Amino acid sequence: MRSLVAARIGRVLLVSVLLGGTAACSPGPESTAAVDEPVPQDPVMVLLDSVPVIMQSADVPGLQLAYLEAGHVTATAAFGYADSETEEPVSDRTVFEAASLSKPVFAYAVLRMVDRGEWDLDEPLWNILEYERLAHDDRARELTTRLVLTHTTGLPNWAWGETQLNFDADPGERWGYSGEGIVYLQRAVEAKTGLTLEELATREVFDPLGMTETHYAWVESFDTLAAIPHDEFGFPANRRTPEAGNAAGSLHTTATDYARFVGAMFTGEGLEPETHAAMLARGASLVGAGWGDDEEAKTHLFWGLGWGLEEGRLGSSFWHWGDQGTARCFVVAYPETGDALVYFTNSANGLAIAPALLGLVFDDDQWALRWLDYDRYDDPAHQARLGVMRAFMTDGPEAGMAEFERARVEHPDRLDEGDVNGLGYVLLRRGAVEEAILVFERNTIDYPESSNVWDSLGEALREAGRLEESIAMYRKSIELDPGNANARRFVAEMEEELAAAGSE
């Protein structure tokens, strides 16, 4: 196996290649091909040459990948920085957030229990755990493991801050991505086995497959091994250090470890043949799903028991993406050839480079990436957003707003409410409070009927200590969305603070 290590020092790209095992790059015997016949390019060397350039263009500080050929890991690579501030380089042992790539690993663990007769794909989860968050709706009694793993529960992806879960559709009606469904299944498995997710995954996945650097819960070694996440503008963000595992998104791992898992998916290692086949069989079509706008792409996309499935130019593939906001990743694998690419980044731009990376080694349409529809790093609108942020941070609010107005004229369809709100929060996190207020104020002008934009402006004004103005903004948000409980809480807290100050 080849280990390819690339470290970025300042603006210079330094690359070293370490060869182990067979001499994968040896020239071999003389070629007998015709002189004008094109020589096939080694996909690994193509990656090595191109990835650092793509990363630099996309403001991705660090990246780690593994490449599989004929079902075996033939190369791993590490590029850039685990932490852009300290310039700690990424190594093969650097641990990255897997985000939603947590889900297939959990699905595999559950299917191993199914094979031993310890779990039933079609038994109602309610028989095992009466989930308090769904106690108000009788449809919860219909939910099964099969519905959870194929994302056909009808539950929302996430219901942040809500104690009660409400269905978006009837169970089994249509595909709808749901982290909440995965969490319910996790709670049921933990209740029946008496094991934590970390203990279950160690027994069923990590130990059998030799995934020595992989955990759902934070471990001490991660204090030095885990990469620092970065936002899309290249600024470091806070690391997530989960005390307890979340099957939908808390996995931390390396590309090498995850590639071992993908290799097991090729062979069905640890699963009965029928179960392995079911895992990669079409369990749900994305046609008719409300999520995503590319209807043509949906006709090529399906969902198995834990994996996304695609029918493309190169045949069938299984895939999944991970998005933790400031850490994004992707994996795609072709069972017929045993070829696969796994990569992790510590950047919000990690999926902006997916089409470019996969295009280096796979001549396929990648319908999944079309459907996910992340901004491409080389999209002019994406570059314009980055330019606005740099202007704010480098040249001040006046220059930032001028660049913002210019970008809005040139890309009116791309700098939408969500983009502008995200820009405001990046400024707020970087301590540029007055600049954030300017951005949020502009969003209230463009989207006056959105409760969220008034809520965001209220938050920035509260951060600036302008409590009376903040209260007014939060009240406007509540007027548009009476269910905004957080806004009500903040208003009550600030009114109490103002009353206390007035009585002194």
* Domain end position, chosen among 281, 299, 320: 320
Q: What is the pLDDT of residue 221?
A: 97
Residues in Cβ contact with 34 at an 8 Å cutoff, skipping those fewer than 6 apart: none
Domain match, 213 and 107 both: yes
The candidate with the shortest Cα–Cα distance to 315, out of 334, 331, 287, is 334
Residue 132 lies in a domain: yes
Domain match, 291 and 427 both: no
Residue 355 lies in a domain: no
Q: What is the pTM of this model?
A: 0.82
Residues in Cβ contact with 341 at an 8 Å cutoff, skipping those fewer than 6 apart: 65, 66, 67, 68, 330, 331, 332, 333, 357, 358, 361, 362
> What is the total residue count of the chain?
504
The candidate with the shortest Cα–Cα distance to 65, out of 47, 50, 45, is 47
* Domain end position, chosen among 287, 320, 353: 320
Instruction: Determine the angle formed by the axes of helices 179-193 and 102-115, rounding to 10 degrees.
Output: 40
Q: What is the pLDDT of residue 24?
A: 31
Q: What is the pLDDT of residue 46?
A: 86
Q: What is the pLDDT of residue 37?
A: 55
Gap between the Cα atoms of 343 and 194, Å rounded: 33
Residue 221 lies in a domain: yes
Q: What is the pLDDT of residue 162?
A: 67
Domain that holds residue 136: 99-320
Residue 482 lies in a domain: yes
Number of independent structural domains in the chain: 2
Residue 350 lies in a domain: no
Residues in Cβ contact with 397 at an 8 Å cutoff, skipping those fewer than 6 apart: 434, 435, 438
Label residues 3-22 b or e (16+ Cβ within 10 Å = b).
bbbbbbeeeebeeebeeeee
Gap between the Cα atoms of 242 and 147, Å rounded: 27
Domain match, 138 and 285 both: yes
Q: Is 181:147 a contact under the CB 8 Å cutoff?
A: yes
CATH of the domain at 273: 3.40.710.10
Gap between the Cα atoms of 238 and 427, Å rounded: 15
Residue 6 lies in a domain: no
* Domain end position, chosen among 286, 320, 354: 320
Residue 91 lies in a domain: no
Domain match, 169 and 311 both: yes
**Sign of the dihedral defined by the CA atoms of residues 116, 118, 119, 120, in that order:** positive
Residue 211 lies in a domain: yes
Q: How many CB atoms lie within 10 A of CB 381?
A: 16
Domain match, 315 and 433 both: no
Domain match, 315 and 200 both: yes
CATH of the domain at 461: 1.25.40.10
**Sign of the dihedral defined by the CA atoms of residues 195, 199, 201, 205, in that order:** negative
| Beta strands per DSSP E along 20-123 | 62-69, 72-83, 88-89, 96-97
Q: How many CB atoms lie within 10 A of CB 377?
A: 23
Which regions in the chain score pLDDT beneath 70? Answer: 1-40, 161-162, 414, 504
Gap between the Cα atoms of 146 and 172, Å rounded: 10
Q: What is the pLDDT of residues 130-177, one digit of tens each?
A: 999 999 999 999 999 999 999 999 999 998 766 789 999 999 999 999
| Residue with tokens 């640890």, as numbered in its chain | 270
Any bridge partners for residue 65, and if so which?
Answer: 77, 343
Which 8-state DSSP code applies to residue 395?
Answer: H
Q: What is the pLDDT of residue 275?
A: 98
